[in-house]
Structure 1
Amino acid sequence: MKQEPLLLSALDVASSKTAMLICERNIDGSLTLIGFGEARTDGVERGNITNLEKVVKSIQKAVRDAETMANVRIDSVSTSVSGEHIRCIQSRGVHPVASGEKGEITREDVEKVIEAAQAVAVPSDSEIVDCIAQSFVVDGQEGIKDPIGMTAVRLEVDATVITAGKTQLENIRHSVARSELSVSDTFVGIEASSVATLTPEERDMGVAVVDIGAGLTQTAVFLGGKMKFIHIFGYAGNSVTKDIAAGCVLPFEQAEKLKLEHGDLLIPPDNQENIDIPGIAGREPRKIKKLFLGEIIEARFEEIFSFVKEALEKQNLYNKLITGIVLTGGSSQMPGIVPFAERFFGLPVRIGFPARLGGMSNLVNAPAYSSSVGTVLLSSSFAGEKQSASGKGEGERGLLGVLTKWLKKKF
């Protein structure tokens, strides 16, 4: 009997937009985008839901449009979580494999040592959303990537535990439930963006992905194929718009339009071009220098990049970014941002576009959708591991299966 493609859906509720993707997971593991919906987000600031009713309306519209395009009905979605409440904790877990003589390390042993790594002090208002095994130690031998099948008495793991605010997670789940859906998986937004934009070589050699959205700037560092560090702060595209609104005396909406139509990070100092801006409340239209607009934008982006650089230097990671920096997110589309960032960081910089999907991928082939595409890619990875496990013996499942099972327990 021919196996039908598996339907996967991803919901990304961001500060400026809500995006919904519906994909078919084909037999070979590839994804085909069959439905897409998008709605303006009201009621989210810096990744935090501030008006549940408005968020629910945005979700319902995005879901309805995606379902109509795909001609299907869905009952569950994978989501992502972002915000300044996301934290990283470095931890070590220890587990005895056998008492006395050495025993063979099984996936259950790996599962238990990863659970042991979660025994860290987590604030009462947070919960663990991910646990990334950096490397294992087998009877004192460090640097082991996958210990399953090895023999040992003692198994240890160095892990990065990622936490998120309980209130923020519950608000996302409640918003989805109010839209008559359930949450199947929850991923960290910057991790999803990284999956969608980074190459294996970049992840292995050393790279920082910086997702500059509307309300948040999120940074993740990868070394040796593993995510080592996350840093998130609430200055991003909307901060630039607010600066323009203040400097040019404009409402926020007009300032946003001015930024999108005339914003540039590489305006020559001798530029004399004028920009017409509308008057407020019946006043006469005015003119401003394009150079003045550029100076406002440059000042805020320089501050944003300085926060990123400071965080990387504080963790002693800045000099380990061999392949440089990947910029993604909607605000990474500012003209001139690549040379501006290269000059600031002194590192190679490129724009990260999300991985291509089959089908109508042109609808989401922009940095603004990196987190959305990454969420469905992570969901597909978990689904693939589940399908693979159903056809194998329990002892044949690898390390990814262990991590998948642990995350499934959490959500």
Structure 2
Amino acid sequence: MAGSATPFAYRDFRFYWIARLGSTIAQMCMVIVIGWQVYDIARLTMDTREAALQLGLVGLVQFIPLFALTLVTGWLADRVDRRIVARGSIALELACAAALGWLAYTGTTTLTDLFVIAGFLGVARAFAGPALGALAPNLVPRAILPKAIAMSSIAWQSGAVAGPALGGYLYAWAPVMPYAVSAGLFALSLLCMFLVRPVTRRAIEGSRNPWRQMVDGLHYVRHHRLVLGAISLDLFAVLLGGATAMLPIFARDILQAGPTGLGHLRAAPAVGATLTALWFSFYPLKNNVGAKMLGAVGVFGAATILFGLSRSMPLSLFCLALLGSADMLSAYVRQSLIQLYTPDPMRGRVSAVSSLFISASNELGEAESGFLAALIGPVTAVVAGGFGAIAVTLLWARWFPELRLARSFDPPAEGSQASAPER
């Protein structure tokens, strides 16, 4: 009976899924608006390339805490109740949203404010990623674990692409609105996490030395080539093909679309990703999952190139929708492989490493895109990044044959499992 059930048949997973979706939408809603405000304020006194450099810096400010705290956050997610870590992270994000909302309401936002609060958001996301990523498998029985991980991945990825679109539209309505809505979503997520009941987890095995336990996550990723290949593919492909980081520039100076146009541009990947997620909910991937992930990353790079060359709003929207669809397919396969092939006592630390790589591809990718745009111009930077993503796909297909040969999501059996959660 349990094997035929869906993850949503379990009460705790329902609350978890709402919390993950809501917090991700709120995070990404704030990130895109912070980027727009940084660029808009910078353009008052700087030219396009100098302002693009500020966009790169705000991405770097968010990445530094994630880089510095990776080992600690992963260890905590395996040592401490993952629900408590997630609650604290979401509470900090709620405070950041409230602060930015107040500044927007009073019209007193400065570049310094945006950089400081972006740093705190980086801290919160450093702790939230491993805890939330590793919690999903604890909430359902093993028989439906692949479905639970897929649905958790869909919640994260859908929020990651829908949040910025929502932020663009809300900011066009009123500068305070994206932060007010984000605060409400964080509050809802926090409530849902308090409604998730305690879960049973296996203890960390091996050395009791905390530092050794922290480093074990890195060792696991390094020596498990399927996991390493999946994580690093996303890192380098998105790091190079970071078109979305340049959307404020394209909306304001290239397509002449303003904040409303920014909302349309950010909505396009959300549409592509949502349609792809809906397709997977009815027709989940079963065969040749690794090859399909590699193909999706290649399509991601090609769509990035075409977007960079486009001067037509409809064509740009189509390219971004295709980009979002490819990114959803890639993330769906990557997160499922990583979670299913990682033992539960290691999931927090491996999720922390995965979060670091994802953040490097996102926040550090924003920094790389901003710095490159400052040197060679935004259009050339985006087009070059798309070619780079395609090159990475070809190299990873050769260097990590385990990815090409991954046929299904069937994981290796674990020695023991926690008892099935209550519905």
Please give the range of the TM-score, normalised by the shorter of the 2 chains.
Answer: under 0.3
TM-score, length-scaled by structure 2: 0.24
Larger proportion of helix: 2
Q: TM-score, normalised by structure 1?
A: 0.25
Q: Which has the larger radius of gyration?
A: 1
